[in-house]
Structure 1
Amino acid sequence: MDYYSQLVTDPDLRAELLDRFDELAGAAAAKGGLEGLERLEPPTVDEAARAVESMTEGTWVRDDSALEAIILAFTRPVYLVQDSTYTSSASDFPDSVEIANRLDSARPALERAIPSAGRVDLRNHRLQWAGTAWMVREDIAVTNRHVAEVFARQNGDAFVFRTHFDGSMTRATLDWRREYQRPAESRFRVEEVLWIEPDGSADVALLRVSATGEEGEAQPPVIDLMTEQEIAATTAVAVIGYPARDSRNSADDQRRLFGDVYGVKRLAPGQITTVSADGLLQHDATTLGGNSGSVLIGLETGKAAALHFAGLEHVANYAVQAHVIERIIRERAR
C-alpha cells in the first residue's frame, strides 16, 4: 500500500474528509495553506472524491497537488504540547473531529506518557540540541544511536562524552518540558552513556539520567514497553517528540503542517503500517529530523510500541520495536 492510500483507509476519517472538503480547501487557500501550490486552483470536492477512491483502490499516482497537501494536513496533523497535554495544531488548519475524539479517548494514557519524553540538549557543542529521549527504566532513558553519537563515542569497553581541541567536554541534559510558549524547564543531566548499539544493529542508545533535576524535581515516570504480541495487535499510535526544521523535507509542507514552529514538544497521531520480523516497524505519523528518539505510544494501552529513528517524506517512518529495546536493556544496562 502506498503512503497516500494508507491515509484514507479509515472509513470514518475518509467520510469526514469528504464531508468537510469544501471547508478545508477554503481554509487552506484563505490562510495561505497552499504555499508552493499557488499556480493551482483549489481542488473541488468531486475531484477529492475521485482521488480518494483511487487512493483506496491503490491506483493513485502522486502529483504534488493541493489535494495532497489538504489530505495530509487533515489526516496526519501535528499537535502542540502545552502544560503536559496536547492542545491544538500551530498550523491554523481545521482539525479533524474524528481524530480529536480518538485522542480524547486516549488522553489519560497520553498525559501519562507526555512528561516522560524530553529534548536532548547539549552544552559545549555547535548544536543546541540533538533529538528526543524518553524514560524506559528508573534512571535510564532511551534514544537513537545516531543521537547519542553526536555527543558521545566509544572508548574501549565504555562510552565517553566527546571533547574538543580546547579540552572542553560536551555534556547532554534532558529537558522534559520545552513546550511552545511555556518558559518552564525540567532539566536532568545525562550522567553516563550506558550503551550505544553498533552500526548495523538497532538504532538504540541507553543513557543514565541523574536522580533529580536541576531544581530538585523527581524523574518523570517510566513508560512501559509493549510485548511483541501487543505490538502485533496495535494500530493507532501517537508519536511524542521534538520535530526540527528539516532541510531534507519540503519547506512548504513543513510550513503547512508545523506552522513554522520547531524544537518544541509535539504529539502526532498515526498508524503502524508494517511490523517486520527483524524488529523494526513502519508508521505514518508526521515527523521531522528532531523526532529521532521519539516514542510511539499505543492509544489503547498507553505503552511504548517503538522508538522512532528515521523517516522518508511521503514514504514511511521507521522505528525499533519495544521488545528489541527490552532485550538491549536486559543485556546492556548494568
Structure 2
Amino acid sequence: MALDDLQKAYLWRVIGDFSVARIRLKERRDEAEDTITSAKVPLAASDGRRKVDMVAVLSDYRQTNRAINALTSLESNHEPDGEEGQALTAIILKESRPSLLIQNGTFKAPSINEWAMLKEHQATLEAIFPAVGRIELSAENPLNYFGTGFLVAPDLILTNRHVAQFFIRGDGDLTLRSDLRPQIDYAQEYQVDRSQIAAIKQAKLVDNYWDLAVLQVEWGEQGPPCLPLCLAGSPPPDLKNGLVATVGYPALDRRRSDSISLQMQIFEGVFDKKRIAPGYTLGRADFQSFGHKVKALQHDCSTLGGNSGSCIYSLDSKAVIGLHFAGLYLIANYAVPTWELVNNPTLKAFGLQFV
C-alpha cells in the first residue's frame, strides 16, 4: 500500500510525537517477544480459560517490526514499502483513532493511550447512544442495511440524502417505494440479542444543497428510546482540534480491495454493529456533493461507508456539530455543519432543537 502525500500528512498528524510512537511500538514488540520466548502460554486450554494464540502473537510481532521500519522511513522522508506502510497504518489507526464496540449501551474506553480520557466523558456519551440507529430494510430483504440515522425530534430522524435515496421514489418525490419497508433499529449491538425498531413512514425533507434528509418514523407502544439530540447552532470553540466522537454502524467497504485487510484489522472483523469512534475536528474544507461545492466540516474519526448519517458529537459543546456524509481514504472525513442549518425554516418548523 503506497501512500500519497495527503495520506502521509494524515499519518504524520495522527502519529503526533514520533518518539512517543516509537516507544509504544517497541513496547508492543517487546511484549510479543517476551510471550514468544517464554513459551508459557499454550495454544488452547482444556479448562476453557482464554489463552493467547501463539500464531497471533507471532503475527503481531512481525507486524510491529514492519511498523517500526515504516516509522523510521517516514522520519527520514523516505517511502515505506507496501507491507510496512500498511502495518504502521493498521497499528496507529487502531490505537490513535479506535472504533469501539458499543454493547448493552456502554463501551470500554482504552486504558493506556490518549483515549483513556474517554472514561471522564462516558456518562455523557452513553446518554446519546440510544438516539442513534441503523437504517435498514425489514429482515426478509437481502439488501438489508443502508446507513445510520439519529433522533432529532420525537418522530424524526436525521440522515443523509444518499441514504434516503435507496428507498424513496426520486429527488422530487418524497414518497417511499412501495416494494420496500425501511426501518431504523436503535440497537444492533455486537453479540447483544436485542432490537428496538421504528418503521420509517415518510421522507419529510430531502435537501437540495446538503447531503441531508429528514425521515419520519412511527414508534410502537414502547415509544422513542430517549430524548432527541440537540444540534449546535454555532461553531464549536475549537473548529480545529476539537474533541469529537462519531456514533454509527461502519460497514466493510469492498470497493477498495487494497484496504480490506486494513479494515479487518482496525475493526477486528466486526462490521454493521453500533460503534463509537473518537477523533478531532480538522476545520472546514470544500467538498463536491451532488454536483456542487459545499464547505464541509472535516474530522478524522475512523469511519466506513455504513457511517453515512452518523452524528458528530462535540465533547466540548456537548451537542451534535455535524452529520457525517463522506470520507476520503486516509485523508479526512466530511460532515454537514449543524450551525449552517440553524436558519432553515423547514427544520425549525419540524421542531429540531439548536443550542
For the criterion TM > 0.5, the same-fold answer is: yes
1:126-175 C-alpha deviation (Å, 9 max, x unpaired): 4111100001223211000110000113485x511113xxxxx3121111
| Alignment match, 1:91 | none
Quick check: 2:165–2:171 contact (8 Å CA) kept in 1? no
Structure 1 position 257 matched with structure 2 position 261? no
Cα-Cα RMSD: 3.1
| Alignment match, 1:176 | 186
Over 3 Å counting, the alpha-carbon distance change for 1:203 and 1:41 in structure 2 is: closer
Counterpart selection for 1:227 from 219, 233, 237: 233
Structure 2 unaligned residues grouped into runs of 5+: 1-5, 34-53, 287-293
Over 3 Å counting, the alpha-carbon distance change for 1:85 and 1:49 in structure 2 is: same
| Alignment match, 2:332 | 316
Quick check: 1:232–1:275 contact (8 Å CA) kept in 2? no
Aligned residues: 309
Q: Aligned partners of 1:132 and 1:39: how far apart in 2? A: 36
Counterpart selection for 1:206 from 203, 214, 217: 214
Counterpart selection for 2:135 from 101, 105, 120: 120
| Alignment match, 1:142 | 158
Give the secondary-structure state (helix, strand or coil) at the position aligned to 2:229: coil
Structure 1 position 108 matched with structure 2 position 123? yes
TM-score, normalization by structure 2: 0.76
Give the secondary-structure state (helix, strand or coil) at the position aligned to 2:335: strand
Report which of the two structures shows the higher radius of gyration computed on alpha carbons.
Answer: 2
| Alignment match, 1:42 | 65
1:263-316 C-alpha deviation (Å, 9 max, x unpaired): 110111111112248441111111111111111111223311101111122121
TM-score, normalization by structure 1: 0.81
| Alignment match, 1:270 | 279
Counterpart selection for 1:77 from 73, 90, 98: 98
Give the secondary-structure state (helix, strand or coil) at the position aligned to 1:229: coil
Quick check: 2:160–2:212 contact (8 Å CA) kept in 1? yes
| Alignment match, 2:21 | 17
CA-CA distance at 1:246 after TM superposition: 0.8
Once the two structures are overlaid, the 10-residue window that deviates more, 65-74 or 141-150, is 65-74
The equivalences for 1:80-99 within 5 A come to 80-87=101-108, 95=110, 97-99=112-114
Structure 1 position 238 matched with structure 2 position 245? yes
Q: Aligned partners of 1:142 and 1:236: how far apart in 2? A: 22
Q: Aligned partners of 1:84 and 1:288: how far apart in 2? A: 21
Quick check: 1:34–1:256 contact (8 Å CA) kept in 2? no
Q: Aligned partners of 2:64 and 2:14: how far apart in 1? A: 23
Q: Aligned partners of 2:58 and 2:202: how far apart in 1? A: 46
Q: Aligned partners of 1:279 and 1:197: how far apart in 2? A: 15
Over 3 Å counting, the alpha-carbon distance change for 1:97 and 1:209 in structure 2 is: same
Structure 1 unaligned residues grouped into runs of 5+: 89-94, 164-168
Task: Report the AA paired with residue 99 of structure 1.
Answer: E
1:191-228 C-alpha deviation (Å, 9 max, x unpaired): 21101123xx2110001122x3x452434221111133
Q: Aligned partners of 1:203 and 1:128: how far apart in 2? A: 21
Q: Aligned partners of 1:333 and 1:270: how far apart in 2? A: 30
Quick check: 1:197–1:203 contact (8 Å CA) kept in 2? yes
Over 3 Å counting, the alpha-carbon distance change for 1:260 and 1:27 in structure 2 is: farther
Over 3 Å counting, the alpha-carbon distance change for 1:128 and 1:49 in structure 2 is: closer
Over 3 Å counting, the alpha-carbon distance change for 1:60 and 1:152 in structure 2 is: farther
Q: Aligned partners of 1:183 and 1:309: how far apart in 2? A: 29
Over 3 Å counting, the alpha-carbon distance change for 1:285 and 1:184 in structure 2 is: same
Q: Aligned partners of 1:96 and 1:16: how far apart in 2? A: 17
CA-CA distance at 1:96 after TM superposition: 6.1
Over 3 Å counting, the alpha-carbon distance change for 1:48 and 1:120 in structure 2 is: same
Q: Aligned partners of 1:275 and 1:16: how far apart in 2? A: 29
